[in-house]
Structure 1
Amino acid sequence: MIKIRNTSYKPNLEHEGKFLLPLPSPPPPSTKGIWFTELKPHERLFFHQTLNSVRKSRRYSPNPNIPFDNLDFNLQSRYHHAKELFPEKVDTVLQKETVCVETFRVLRNTKDVIIKKPDPLGHPLRISGIKEKISPHSVKLINSGHRTQLTNNGFSRQPADGNFFHY
């Protein structure tokens, strides 16, 4: 998964709460372009919503687990009293998002894009029958070259003692 910048006028806060009413949307651009290309500066400022402006808006209802005071921040920290011995002072207030643990909170106005992993072999696996099985003792499996001898030039082994002889 990769995070890319959200170029929309509306931030992606669906995991953190829900929208009670839709946000004001800009008119669609006449040409292919980004939503703010044909807007005046004051219109662009009106339609563009930041994470904080949406969270403070009456059109948005936040998740009830969002901390509001010091006690809530300490309770939602990554520190666990039974697991850590002699923690630092910062550990009691260190939040999970700052140590890259995924939670419901959104810290940046980004979108998550899932990238399909490439095949490790570089091609899809194909299972098929083997047409010919070559013996590992075959002379034709030796490194090929113009000096490689593929026959024994008239020599053969005697069946009794295995000595070479030439006809």
Structure 2
Amino acid sequence: MIQYQNKIARNESYEPDLRNEGTYICPMPRPPPPPMDGETWFAHLPPHERLFYHQTMSSVRYSKRFRGNINIPKDSLDFQLQARYDHGRETFPDKIDAVLQRDTCCATTSWMAPHGQKEVGANARLNLFRVLRNTRVVREKMPEVLGHPLRIGGCKEKISPHSVKLICSGVHNQLVNNGFSRQTSDGNFFRY
């Protein structure tokens, strides 16, 4: 059985893949197709058109064509409200603690929590829906563990219906030239 794994690759497209964060109300402008096959989408465009068609993650999120999830912070107040910092646990916080988000921090336990308890909302890292980098998910075929994959396919050659190799096999069948053989009793030729 062929198994696939998901691999994260750099997004070379003109538009970031933000389907997990929200929905597109209408499509973004698409660049004209390249004149030759194998070219990138921007190779034939002048610089001002390349800037017009290339969308960043921020430009898509703030665009009127995209409706984002309500949990995504929209301004600095939202960033501070969804921050990892908890005023009741830390006495002298750094300035950066007020803006660190749980999505970008890989630690699930906090040094400021008493007795190494889990942070409030520490499981938010597992249910991540925000796209942090301009990447896309690519399905890739997994390598075979045994080193010899099972190949399922049909016949590799077309065998003639008159071939002796297609007859029902038994102890009395003989494979001879062109299907002719002599009878053992009287030596006459016969064809299967």
Q: Give yes or no for TM over 0.5.
A: yes
Q: CA deviation at 1:79?
A: 7.0
In structure 1, C-alpha distance between the alignment counterparts of 2:45 and 2:56, rounded to whole Å: 18
Number of the residue aligned with 2:54: 48
RMSD: 3.0
Deviation at 1:93, TM superposition (A): 5.2
**Corresponding residue of 2:73:** 67
**2:7: which partner in 1?**
2
Letter in 1 for 2:9: I
Q: Deviation string for 1:83-133 (max 9, x for gaps)? A: xx77994777542322354511111111112333323222358xxxxxxxx
What TM-score, normalized by structure 1, do the two folds share? 0.59
Aligned partner of 1:147 in structure 2 is none
Alpha carbons of structure 1 residues 119 and 73: separation in structure 2 relative to 1, 3 Å: same
Q: Which runs of 5+ in 2 are unaligned?
A: 1-5, 107-124, 151-192
Question: 2:135 maps to what in 1?
Answer: 110
Identity among equivalent positions (%) equals 53
Q: Which amino acid aligns with 1:5?
A: R
Equivalent AA in structure 2 for residue 118 of structure 1: P
Cα distance change, pair 44–92 in 1 and its aligned pair in 2 (3 A): closer
Match of 2:148 in 1: 123
Structure 1 gaps of 5+ residues are 126-167
Quote the Cα distance in structure 2 between the aligned partners of 1:69 and 1:30: 42
1:22 pairs with one of 24, 27, 32: 27
Structure 1 Cα separation of the partners of residues 25 and 84 of structure 2: 31
How many residue pairs are counted as aligned between the two chains? 123
CA distance in 2, matches of 1:116, 1:75: 42
SS in 2 for 1:98: coil
Match of 1:97 among 100, 103, 119: 103
Q: Which has the larger radius of gyration?
A: 1
